Structure 1
Amino acid sequence: MNTPPVPAGPGQHQQIVDRIGHGLASMAPPGTWRQIRAEYRAAGRHIEADVVVTGQDGVPRALQPPVELVQLLGTLRAAMYRPGPGTWLSAVLTVDPVQGTAADFAFDREPQWRRTPPPIGFQDELRTFPRADEHVPGWLRERAGLPPLAPPAGDGEVRTPRIHDGLDASGRPLIRRQPLVPAEAERVLAYLDAAPVVLASRSNGPDAFAPDRTDAVPMNFRTDGVWAWPGAVAYYLREHGVPPDPDLLAHIRARRFTAPPEVSEAATDLALAAITGEPRRTGL
């Protein structure tokens, strides 16, 4: 039985980040680079690490990360473990010669793997860094071969997905999700389009990925009784290849891509409450 690592304090985290930053900065001669970026992805014993140096000419060049740097990133991952939430699965550290080292950690988002680990890799992850059930995202449960969490019974809530993963400095949406192969994308689209509509508008909205399309995105909502999603989810997958929220995607896969043709009145009320933010209707 694995013993979970002992968490370290925030001060120790920063010390390790600073050591990694200094190590990265030493990989290129002074005055020859604008930025050094390291990305580390891990699941159990499966580890991927990339280092890219952008020179003064603006051209990025890949470098082989030293073993000591990879080990130090693993040490940081263990030090940041917390009982319940676990630890991060991917990190991006960016070194700027003026501003120093910045770090971004993803605890629940699936990394963009070069080679997706086998199920045993994700099982090792959950053994080495145990998580409470509510902190195991749907995609990780699926990758590890775990059954999906049962939907809440009775007075539970219907979930709504994230359309994207944030915004960049210019306000454009960011996507950090594994792309779908065409065959699966078609099955996901069929599911998204088959669920019952619970709220609809006659007008369309703007396309966040193509600002010139001002009347393109369907302004409707569908539900399968567990999730409620806007028409934008299917639209962005169809038009721009943007996969759904990883937890919604894991749910669709768990249902074997078969959407219910109808949902109960209670589920419809829950979906409307999730969409509008208004309290659900109750019987007299």
Structure 2
Amino acid sequence: MTRPPGPLRPDQQQEVVRQIGVALASQAPPGWRQLRIEYRAAGRHVEADLLVTGPDGQPRPAPPHPEAVRLLGVLRAGMYQPGRGTWLGVICAFDPTQPPDIDFVRPDLEPPFRQQPPVLGFQDELRFFPRAEEHVPAWLREKAGLPPLTPPGLDGEVRTPRIYDGLDAAGTPLVRRQPLVPAEAERVLAYLDAAPVILASRSYGTDAFAPDRTDAVPMNFRTDGAWAWPGAVAYYLREHGVPPDPDLVAHIRARRFAAPSEVSAEATVLALAAITSERS
């Protein structure tokens, strides 16, 4: 099995769907009311089930036309997104008087296989349609025989960021970082503010960039399980445009700016230990 040279444009996808309907209709009885094909695949493992609703309104199973099955494979391959994979299941319903109704199984979900594909099938799936680690769901890793990913923070290391890059002779903070464009700065701020608080405080500290603000900087700490940061990180970005530690920014980008709403108890303990170590 190989993928086509490039992705199918939306109009090309629609044309493939039309051809699938033509292939199925070519063997349907006169007066048919609906053709419903369910297609599931993992690597070279392919399943296709067809229900034909005839003039009497009763759906009956029938062998799907081989050309329709082949075209479904073409559609699946042509909808591959680099790093994200492609869908493993779809239901296509064709009605003589209506546009086709297409329902794709999300790429992160396992379709209801009639017969469980072999491990090799799932391994081939990841080889034919490579995915970035964050887009390989736990069920697919397990079915492909891959070891589970270590949850962020559970590898014994939670990182803490540098608030700024040092002090000059007058004690003024130094910042030697690439500034963030406004749109990305807003997304980074949203991430920093959305992660769970692991150490709360009603106290506020002095603004290092504006020492006259003696009760301004939040003293709380948040974590996403891989990093733990003080409220000062978001404060200085918001108030002075100071970008966070570049490694933290890269981490946030890699997570597509989606902060977790909660972290495990184990990750929280490790984050607190990292904060304590950093402050001691």
Q: TM-score, normalised by structure 2?
A: 0.53
Check 1:265–1:24 CA distance in 2 against 1; reply closer, same or farther (3 A cut). Answer: closer
TM-score, normalised by the number of residues in structure 1: 0.52
* Residues 1-284 of structure 1 mapped to structure 2, 5 A cutoff: 6-33=6-33, 35-105=34-104, 106-153=106-153, 263=265, 266=268
Structure 2 residues without counterparts, runs of 5 or longer: 160-224, 226-263, 272-280
User: How far off is 1:265 after superposition?
Assistant: 9.2
Sort the Cα spacing of 1:4 and 1:66 in 2 relative to 1 into closer, same or farther, 3 A. Answer: closer
Aligned pair count reads 166
Aligned residue for 1:121, secondary structure, equals: helix
In the aligned structure 2, how far is the partner of 1:116 from the partner of 1:265?
Answer: 35
Cα distance in 2 for partners of 1:6, 1:58 equals 41
Instruction: Give the deviation of 1:98 after TM superposition.
Output: 1.7
Unaligned 5+ residue runs, structure 1? 157-224, 226-261, 270-284
Counterpart CA distance in 2 for 1:263 and 1:77 is 40
Instruction: Give secondary structure in 2 for the equivalent of 1:51.
Output: strand
Alpha-carbon RMSD across the aligned residues, in angstroms, is 3.0
* CA separation of 1:57 and 1:126: change in aligned 2, threshold 3 A: same
Distance 1:152 1:19, change over 3 A: same
Distance 1:32 1:118, change over 3 A: closer
Distance 1:61 1:149, change over 3 A: same
1:263 to partner: Cα distance? 3.9
Equivalent pair of 1:95/1:102 in contact (CA under 8 Å): yes
Q: State the AA in 2 paired with 1:103.
A: I
Give, in angstroms, the shift of residue 82 of structure 1. 1.2
Which of 18-27 and 76-85 deviates more?
Answer: 18-27
The superposition leaves residues 106-144 of structure 1 with CA deviations (integer Å, 9 ceiling, x where unpaired) of: 322111111101111100111011111111111000000
For residue 202 of structure 1, what is the aligned residue in structure 2? none
- Determine helix, strand or coil for the equivalent of 1:37: strand
**Aligned equivalents of 1:86, 1:132: Cα separation in 2:** 8
**Cα gap change, 1:132/1:5 in structure 2, threshold over 3 Å: closer, same or farther?**
farther
Structure 1 runs (4+) greater than 6 angstroms displaced: none
Distance of aligned partners of 1:134 and 1:9 in 2 relative to their CA distance in 1, 3 Å threshold: same
The one-letter code sitting in structure 2 at the alignment partner of 1:49 is A
Q: Using the alignment, how far apart are the partners of 2:31 and 2:137 within structure 1?
A: 43
Find the residue that maps to 2:131 and give its secondary structure: coil
**Partner Cα distance (1:111, 1:265) in 2:** 32
Pair 56,3 (structure 1): closer, same or farther in 2 beyond 3 Å: closer
**How far apart, CA to CA, are the structure 1 residues paired with 2:14 and 2:99?**
12
Q: Which structure has the larger Rg? A: 2
